[in-house]
Amino acid sequence: MNAAKFRPSDVPIGPYRPATGSEAPSGMTAEGATSGSGRWPDTFAVAAASSLLAVLAVTTFGVVATPDTPAYLHYAELLRGGPLPSGEDLLRSGFQPTALFRTPGYPGLIAAVQYLDPSHWMAILITIQIAAQAAVAAAAHRAGLALGLGRRLALAAALMPATGFAAIAQIMVLTDAVYAALLTLALLMMLRAGLAGGGILPVLAAGLLLAAATTVREVTPFLALLFLPGAAVAAGPRRRLVGMGLLAGPIVLATGWIMLSHHARSGHAVLSTTRQIVMVQALLPALKRGVPIYHGDDLYDRTARETVVPLGYEGIDILNSRLFEAGLSSPEIAALASARYMRAWREYPLQMMRSIMTRFPARMLWIAFAPVDTVADLHRYSGSARPWFGREAELLRRLGQGSVLAGFLLLALVLGRMVGVAVTIAALAAPLLISPRDARYWPLLTIWLASGAFLAVYLPVHLETRYLLPIIPLLCLLGCAVLHKIWHGMRRNQKVADSVADPGV
């Protein structure tokens, strides 16, 4: 008898019902085979524990404002003040009119809590954001149990995201925490439905959550194109098309409502006018390399050569301001910016591909788990300089001077990043390491595709860590599932080898 060679795809991901007796299948503990329907005290504990860092952060640093915060507050003020501006009052109110540039969902939430309690609305808003992320952690824990990760690994997969940027997003007056909660909950609902064999109601609920997400951030309809396979799997056999329709329908309705509202008030059927910023920002790497993107003789190209080309990002507002002063409205500027972006792809495709390749920072490889980086980033987002323990060079310098604390923090920084990288790489490799014969293959593959949607949409334009917040819980679940599979496969392979070496065992 020869020892079997280990292949990661040989080991199933639970939970499975044993065919006979009470034994769990190969590679799974009995707990992992049955834990998907229990462990509710653990789930409530996860929800509470996931909030601790955010609560500590807001207690220490207070609520964090960002450059985008004033725009959301202004939009909320417009909503509370009565009918939104329309016609020339809207179009000539500025080169980025808030009621066109932003979608209404997050300002609407702010306006609602301000109406409920004008004195403590910010505390209510932050509480809602913390509660929303606690719900995500609880849902991730339930999904981990349904995947058969076992008690400890399910807890780890659910809590890892809480040590990352989520803790910062929850205390900011910014869309990230609410938006991420809506998207992640929708995707986890579909994952659970797919693992359970399919169901229509979870898909419909996911569609409603994504419709709400569309009102918070305009990128949602583009992301949702790669969510459709998840809806098909989640709906179950013979209901694939119905599932995709139930997911897409609410998103289409929400998108249509926003565009019709903007058309009624401005004469332009746009979802938002953020393209006047992001489509220029997307070209900055190529412009920095000297690519002559703005080579035309029209007003837009001439003004861009005078502002964006020499000044970079700081020139974008100047560009928009000058175009506005020349008589163009925000929707018209946005359309021209989009046209220049598409022209750049037609004329300089290799340079645009090169820009994409340089847009993915290395630190996103450990996005799944980096607690030391998170604490350092809290200082930076609150307006302070990044502290010494968040800078590798400073840690090494202090370690060289004999600092024990620097050595401990450097070890924590490196180990945290190593765990994050391992989980992220395992998640990225999931389609290769999970066999299509595995009963969990298709639900997990749809989560992998949904996560990839964020890279597909953001990398060609602009990518920041906070944009990936919705998929961090998904990456943790995918990565932990794959690592769990590999670990049990190695143990099984060792047992086979031991039995061959000592047949009497």
Q: Give tens-digit pLDDT for 270-285.
A: 999 999 999 999 999 9
Tokens (6 digits) for 190: 């579909």
- Cα separation, 470 vs 393, in Å, equals 31
Indicate if the pLDDT at residue 132 is higher than 90: yes
How far is the C-alpha of 220 from the C-alpha of 281, rounded, in Å?
20
Query: Is 229's pLDDT higher than 80?
Result: yes
Nearest to 347 by CA among 302, 291, 277: 291
Helix axes 472-501 and 404-428, enclosed angle (nearest 10): 90
The CB density around residue 301, as the number of other CB atoms within 10 Å, is 18
The answer to whether residue 1 scores a pLDDT higher than 70 is no
Q: Which of 143, 162, 164 is nearest to 154 (CA)?
A: 143
Q: Quick one: pLDDT band at residue 226, thresholds 50, 70, 90?
A: very high
Q: Is 216:179 a contact under the CB 8 Å cutoff?
A: yes
Q: Are 14 and 37 in contact (CB under 8 A)?
A: no
pLDDT in tens, 97-119: 999 999 999 999 999 999 999 99
| Residues 166, 472 contacting (CB under 8 angstroms) | yes
Which is nearest to 141 in space by CA: 44, 262, 248? 44
Closest CA relative to residue 68, chosen from 186, 172, 188: 172
Q: For residue 20, is pLDDT > 60?
A: no
Residues sharing a CB contact under 8 Å with residue 322, sequence separation 6 or more, in sequence order: 303, 307
Phi/psi at 64 (5° precision): -100, 125
Q: Which amino acid is at 370?
A: A
Copy the structure tokens of residue 81.
Answer: 């003040």
304 neighbors 280 (Cβ within 8 angstroms): yes
If one compares 15 and 51, the residue with the highest pLDDT of the two is: 51
Q: Which residue has the higher pLDDT, 206 or 391?
A: 206
Of the candidates 362, 419, 394, the one whose C-alpha atom is nearest the C-alpha of residue 157 is 419
Nearest to 470 by CA among 223, 246, 282: 223
Global pTM reads 0.88
Beta-strand (E) ranges in 32-105? Answer: none
Cβ contacts of 306 within 8 Å, gap of 6 or more = none
CA distances from 316 to 281, 308, 322, 337, 465 (A): 8, 6, 10, 11, 22
Residue 413 sits at φ, ψ, to 5 deg, of -65, -50
The token pair at 135 is: 């719900």
Residues 401-457 have pLDDT tens digits of 999 999 999 999 999 999 999 999 999 999 998 888 888 999 999 999 999 999 999
Beta-ladder partners of 167: none
Burial environment of residue 504 by CB neighbours within 10 A (0 to 12, 13 to 18, 19 or more): exposed
Residue 384, C-beta contacts closer than 8 angstroms, at least 6 positions apart: none
Give the whole-angstrom CA distance, residue 377 versus residue 169.
11
> Which pLDDT band holds residue 220 (cuts at 50, 70, 90)?
very high
| CB 202, CB 193: distance < 8 Å | yes
Q: Given this model, what pLDDT does residue 37 score?
A: 57
* pLDDT at position 8: 38
SS3 326: coil
Give percent above pLDDT 90 in the chain: 77
Burial class of 209 by CB neighbour count within 10 A (0 to 12, 13 to 18, 19+): buried
Cα–Cα dist 279/158, whole Å: 35
Spatial CA neighbour of 67 closest among 374, 231, 313, 433: 313
d(CA 249, CA 243): 10
Confirm if 91 and 197 have CB atoms less than 8 A apart. Answer: no
Strand partners, 64: 172
Tell me what percent of the residues of the chain surpass a pLDDT of 70.
Answer: 90
User: Is the confidence at residue 319, as pLDDT, over 50?
Assistant: yes
Query: For residue 488, what pLDDT is reported?
Result: 76
Q: What are 172's strand-pairing partners?
A: 64
269: Cβ–Cβ under 8 A, 6 or more apart, which residues?
259, 260, 262, 263
With residues binned 3-state (H G I as helix, E B as strand, rest as coil), the percentages for the chain, rounded to 5, are 70, 0, 25
| Whether 81 contacts 107, CB under 8 Å | no
- Tell me: pLDDT of 322 over 90: yes
Determine the Cα–Cα distance for residues 462 and 471; give it in Å rounded to an integer.
17
Residue 286 or residue 7, greater confidence: 286
